[in-house]
Structure 1
């Protein structure tokens, strides 16, 4: 009990002195702890009550959430069904449209394939025709490669044009002139005029070299060669075929192609002019046909003049027949006039008979009148 616990300035504090204070402090501490425990118990009770209410609110909120979730699930289910139905309808519609489009596309494709097959058939026929034409062109090239055959080809065209347009006897092929030369053709002119000579030879090799030239120097050389050959040929025609009193003072140089004729007049005008001064006219198939038609018209006019007296005699006979027809018409007219007069006399007699019949009808055949 005398144990010193603390030493202050006023004196030491022993256990006996501090015991009542310690007991009071302990009691106070217990009291405080009891109060705190009560407060904690109240706080826990309040918290427990709040927790219960919170749990109730939570349960109520959970119930509401469950209801809302069920409602949303029902709405989602309905919407999903509608969406599935709409998707199915759309898929069916698209499938139908796609099927129709596929059918139309198939029909158009079949139609296009059919037309394509027809066009391919036409192309095949055209290709066969082109192949045939190619063979003919090759044959023509082979013909033109040979000088004699080429000359026969040009002469054949000339003879065909003249034979188609003129009658037999108006022309002659390969005649022999007084100087021993033989032109390709001679056309007889009317009124005893000298015949017109037509030559069907042409230096085609020179023209081909001119068109096959690749540079300007070779082209000029080929042009000079063509001019020289043409001048030689024109001079030969003028010297051999222009005979005074036997042939016409003009001769035709037949060119078997319109393209060659156009090239000569366009690029070799000096050759054409020189040939004209030598009284040699260069003609194409079209110009030769025109000249032959003019000759044909002249021959027809001459034949009409030769038959003019026969035509006049026929006209005189026609006039005589017309006079006889006029006399017969006049006689027929007089006969018709006499017949008309006779008909008038007959009508007079019929009128008289009608009047007599009327008077007879009006007579009274009773007894008094009879007496």
Structure 2
């Protein structure tokens, strides 16, 4: 019985000992697992932190880029609105005949300023008096020598625009008549500045500040509408009015500029000839003085030689009286040759 108790106790001690060793092993494994988990969690936390920082930076860059693009887009929208306002202002100007006239005059002056010197033209120039005693003031005057070329800016647009979009044949015919009459009226207004009695050329220029209208006049077409404008050109020539556009007017001014340069060269040549003639006169006068001086020198030489000859006679008289002579030899000079 006692021996059995001892054996049982030994078994219990053995089991507990083995169990303690197992618990220690388990505890070690748990600690290892804990360290591994801590390390993995630390690495995961670090990776997540770095990933969040990268995402934050990318999000920040995206937000900044979007903000910049929105800012540029806002500025572009403002520019578009500004352009729209300017176009609306230009449209308002073109719809107002008076303001349209001011725009045409400004365009005319700009072309003149880009080609001619300031002294070769004038804006709002008074030509003279009309038959009803009113001042005739032309938009621009070009000065060529002692003559004036009148230039008037005309801008008939209302009926032109209507004719360009009209589709009804009946209405087109009516608008064509109105358009042609508008241009005839503008030609008549320009023709009144042709006044040779007031030093103008025998022609004037009607400046149309629209290449489109001028081009349509030359090809006899307004938009898609055929218009007989050949008689308008002939009407202008009959009235001694030449119709010009900005481009053709620029070419005309280039020709005027060449003429002005040739006139300046001719004037310079005349001035040179005048100076040469004055120099020739001075040379003639100088020659006369030199001739008089030569004559005076010739007379002086004659007197000099005569005096020496008289001195020789005195020498002979001294020889007769004293038996000796200073032996004076007369020195004679030659007269200057006459040229």
What TM-score do the two structures reach when normalised by structure 1? 0.48
2:191/2:204 contact within 8 Å kept: no
TM-fit CA distance, 1:302: 0.6
Unaligned segments of structure 1, at least 5 residues: 1-70, 318-371
**In the alignment, does 2:285 pair up with 1:285?**
no
The equivalent of 2:214 in structure 1 is 261
The correspondence of residues 187-202 of structure 1 with structure 2, limited to 5 A, is 187-190=142-145, 195-202=148-155
Q: 1:26-76: CA deviations, max 9, x gaps?
A: xxxxxxxxxxxxxxxxxxxxxxxxxxxxxxxxxxxxxxxxxxxxx999989
Task: Summarize deviations over 1:297-354 as a string: whole Å, max 9, x none.
Answer: 322321221121434677999xxxxxxxxxxxxxxxxxxxxxxxxxxxxxxxxxxxxx
| Aligned equivalent of 1:220 | 172
Give the Cα separation in 1 of the matches to 2:234 and 2:70. Answer: 61
Are 1:204 and 2:157 matched, yes or no?
A: yes
Q: Could you report, residue by residue, the CA deviation over 1:68-122 in whole angstroms, capped at 9, with x for unpaired residues?
A: xxx9999899779757754652453233123223124324423543x24752673
Aligned match of 1:295 = 256
- Matched with 1:105 is 59
Secondary structure at the aligned position of 1:198 is classed as strand
Corresponding pairs, count: 249
1:94 is matched with which residue?
Answer: 48
Residue from 86, 90, 103 that aligns with 1:133: 86
Alignment of 1:270-281 (within 5 A): 273-278=230-235, 279=237, 280-281=241-242
Q: Is the 8 A contact 2:156 2:183 kept in 1?
A: no
Structure 2 length-normalised TM: 0.52
Question: 1: CA distance between counterparts of 2:206 and 2:228?
Answer: 12
Q: Which has the larger radius of gyration?
A: 1
Please show how residues 4-153 of structure 1 align to structure 2 within 5 Å.
82=36, 85-86=39-40, 89-110=43-64, 112-113=66-67, 115-116=68-69, 118-119=71-72, 122-123=75-76, 126=79, 129-130=82-83, 133=86, 137-138=88-89, 140-153=90-103
d(CA) in 1 for partners of 2:190, 2:74: 56
Deviation at 1:206, TM superposition (A): 1.0
Aligned counterparts of 1:230 and 1:94: Cα–Cα separation in 2: 82
Residues 189 and 299 in structure 1, CA contact (< 8 A), matched pair in contact too: yes
The answer to which structure has the higher helix fraction is 1
Per the alignment, do residues 109 and 156 of structure 1 end up closer, same or farther by CA in structure 2, a change over 3 Å counting? closer
Confirm or deny: 8 A CA contact 1:231 1:275 kept in the other structure.
yes
State whether residues 203 and 229 of structure 1, in contact with CA within 8 Å, keep that contact through their aligned partners in structure 2: no
Structure 2: 5+ residue stretches without partners: 1-24, 279-339
Is 1:167 the counterpart of 2:121? The answer is: no
The whole-number CA distance in structure 2 between the counterparts of 1:315 and 1:110 is 81
